[in-house]
Amino acid sequence: MTTAATQGTPKRTPFFTRHVDAGARMVEFAGWEMPLHYSGGIIAEHLATRRHAGLFDVSHMGRFTLHGKDSVPFLQHVLTNNAEALDPLQAQYTVIPTATGGAVDDAYLYRFRRDEYLLVVNASNREKDWRHLTQYLDAFPEVDLEDDTAEVAMLALQGRASRDILASLIRRGRLPEPRRNELSIATIGDAQVGIARTGYTGEPVCFELFVPAQDGPRLWDALVAAGAEPVGLGARDTLRLEAGLPLYGQELGIDPDGEEIPVLSFPLASFAVSFSPRKADYVGRDALQRQHAAYGRILRRDYSLISDLPKLTRPVAVTGRGVAREGSEVYRDGERTGWVTSGTAVPYWGVKGEGLCSIQTDDHELRSIALAYLDSRTLEDDVVEVDVRGRRVPALVVPYHLRSDAPPCARAIVWDHTAEQRRLAPGEGEEKARGLLLAAVRNHEWRQEECVNLIPSEMTPSPLTRLLSVTDPAFRYAEHKKSEAFYDMEVFYYQGTDFIHEVELMLANELRAYLGCPEVETRVVSGQMANAAVFSALVDYLNRADRRAEPRRIRKVVNNHIGKGGHLSAQPMGALRDFVARDPRTELPAVQDIPVLEENPYQADVPALLDLIERERPELIILGKSMVLHPEPVYEVRQFLDAAGIDAVLMYDMAHVLGLVGPHFQRPFSEGADIVTGSTHKT
């Protein structure tokens, strides 16, 4: 075990000369000489990150590595998040807690290798964190904890262009999977670089890079030559403030009244706190559970446990003239309700247009925003006042200042934005109806005669079919179900529906012949509903022996990830959400992605898939995609399931290829599928 270096004169990162040569204004921060900004200034660097790609030297942050068989038990005890949930090449945000539910520090835990963990901590807390962590080592003798801050350099590359910049430099290896907290190891130049999809700016396209210190300057040069814009600590702070991310010493730690700030007073921290039974009794667990219980009640506006969480950190937009600063008091209804923890004026790019048609302009503006530590009874949209140099300036509690859920860029959310109102048809009564009819005819002509439809799954029905779709049955109730009392005959709840029944039987018979299957259900109105019906029926089947207990969900599912062409309706975010269990190890939906070929992410890696099935033994396997280049391995999976004796339902969602069933593509039932789903309006 090695110990952290002691503090002395300000230290320099491997990139110090690069900063000086680039004209950076250097300042001392947490014992390091760091660039505050370069010649263009903080505003330009902030905007460059939001528009293109910013390059940050973050080598001043502490980097601890852990090896040994007690590493996971140790991390489970001294961190709030579930370290056991990390598979190799994954990362997670976490907190080093105090016994009373505060934060020694917040941190990021990375697992680049199966037998090694990397814990990145704040620069100002490195020595304190080291002392705190080492006091627990005696209980975990098989842990080797080392301070590798000097040996490993760390950079952040953030912004929409960062992916292309990084990809252009990789000689061997690849970028991480395009999901937050995914990792990879690649070769850039002659250096091996750990790449993480993490960051502190709110950008959806973001990377942090770990490289041997001696190779760091060459990596910096390559990134700058490829187009990355160097960014200093000043813009790093404005970017994280706009993103609503905490800074230790302001949003976490000790408040201005000298009281410990509860970890869960910062709502984002809830993603960093686990109460998994597998974590046992870790440091601060009892206090954090009390905070968690209080937060749940506060969300319901029940303040009976508010003493465990008296304040919450909320985004605040200053609506009057003035700039909120750290320490500024905040008032509501004339009473002090808290204070600003972080605040300044930040720039943002102008936007022209609305929704998907909106584009960033070359103009920018400034806005005064803050994070504020406020009484937990403060609500979103509450009007408050911020003390700015003795003046009380109006402000508004807002849900966020920035959104990152519409890649490739983060988008500023401005408190007084008003959407353009669509103009409705003018006039009243018959005039309005006539206008609507004319608009409908015009739209029909445009779509049918002047457009090339690029959605192959949308078929144009024949004129005869369209005429039939407006005849009487289209507007009738025709609900029915089988009744065992009548030998499983369909019993209709409404009369006068014989014709509807006849058409349904004809359709079912045609589909049986077409698909080669004995049972068909045509009443579901979409592929999403078809999948939901299957998942619901499977849960019902799994619980058929006990109708009184809380029904259990599907324990394990294997499917195609949406990023590799998988159907939305087969994802935990889609129709599967309410029917799949949580994995007790990861605390995530118990879904495993089908492995794909390295050279072709749209084709299943069959040997790896069969290994996954053998290891995980799922109850449901969902094949099928919305982005289709190849047949699915139905036959191979069926043969393996039968040979291995694995009792899994094999489902094939053919919504996008249902019209291709046959000898030239796939015959799903003859290949071994149990269930096929599809959409009535496709193929």
Where residue 219 sits, what CATH number does that domain have? Answer: 3.30.1360.120
Give phi and psi for 363, each to the nearest 5: -95, 150
Strands 170-172 and 62-67: unpaired
Which regions of the chain are under pLDDT 70?
1-8, 424-426, 456-457, 459, 680-683
Mark which of 227, 243, 259 sits at the end of a domain.
243
pLDDT value, residue 681: 64
Domain co-membership, 471 together with 337: no
Instruction: Assess if residue 520 is contained within a domain.
Output: no
- Record the tokens describing residue 449, joined without a space: 């005669």
The CA-based dihedral angle spanning residues 404, 410, 411, 413, taken in that order and rounded to the nearest 10 degrees: 60
Nearest to 668 by CA among 682, 655, 651, 681: 651
Instruction: Assess if residue 201 is contained within a domain.
Output: yes
Domain that holds residue 656: 527-677
Instruction: Assess if residue 521 is contained within a domain.
Output: no
Domain co-membership, 631 together with 570: yes
Task: Transcribe 475-518 into DSSP letters.
Answer: G----EEEEGGGTTEEEESSSS-HHHHHHHHHHHHHHHHHHT-S
Cα dist from 282 to 66, 274, 397, whole Å? 18, 10, 34
Instruction: Assess if residue 609 is contained within a domain.
Output: yes
Domain co-membership, 270 together with 314: no
Domain co-membership, 539 together with 605: yes
Domain co-membership, 549 together with 656: yes
Where residue 139 sits, what CATH number does that domain have? Answer: 3.30.70.1400
Domain co-membership, 270 together with 228: no
Domain co-membership, 256 together with 228: no
Cα maximum dimension of the chain: 91
Where residue 645 sits, what CATH number does that domain have? Answer: 3.40.640.10
Alpha carbons 560 and 586: distance in angstroms, whole number? 19
> Which amino acid is it at 513?
A
Instruction: Assess if residue 218 is contained within a domain.
Output: yes
Domain co-membership, 77 together with 115: yes
Domain co-membership, 272 together with 192: no
Instruction: Assess if residue 430 is contained within a domain.
Output: no
pLDDT value, residue 6: 47
CA 120 centroid distance within chain = 21
Mark which of 243, 258, 279 sits at the end of a domain.
243
- Record the tokens describing residue 658, joined without a space: 């249902």
pLDDT value, residue 4: 45
Where do the H-state alpha helices sit in 356-445?
Answer: 429-445
Where residue 324 sits, what CATH number does that domain have? Answer: 2.40.30.110
Domain co-membership, 663 together with 585: yes
Instruction: Assess if residue 425 is contained within a domain.
Output: no
Give phi and psi for 496, each to the nearest 5: 75, 25
pLDDT value, residue 5: 45
- Record the tokens describing residue 102, joined without a space: 């505060």
**257, 55 in Cβ contact below 8 A?**
no
- Record the tokens describing residue 592, joined without a space: 């495993």
Domain co-membership, 344 together with 365: yes
0.85 exceeded by pTM: yes
Helix (H, G, I), strand (E, B) or coil at 220: helix
Domain co-membership, 185 together with 199: yes
Nearest to 625 by CA among 594, 671, 656: 656
Alpha carbons 34 and 109: distance in angstroms, whole number? 24
pLDDT value, residue 361: 96
Mark which of 189, 212, 243 sits at the end of a domain.
243
Give phi and psi for 438, each to the nearest 5: -65, -40
Taking CA 9 as the corner, what is the angle to CA 5 and CA 12, rounded to the nearest 5 degrees? Answer: 75
Instruction: Assess if residue 428 is contained within a domain.
Output: no
Counted domains in the chain: 5
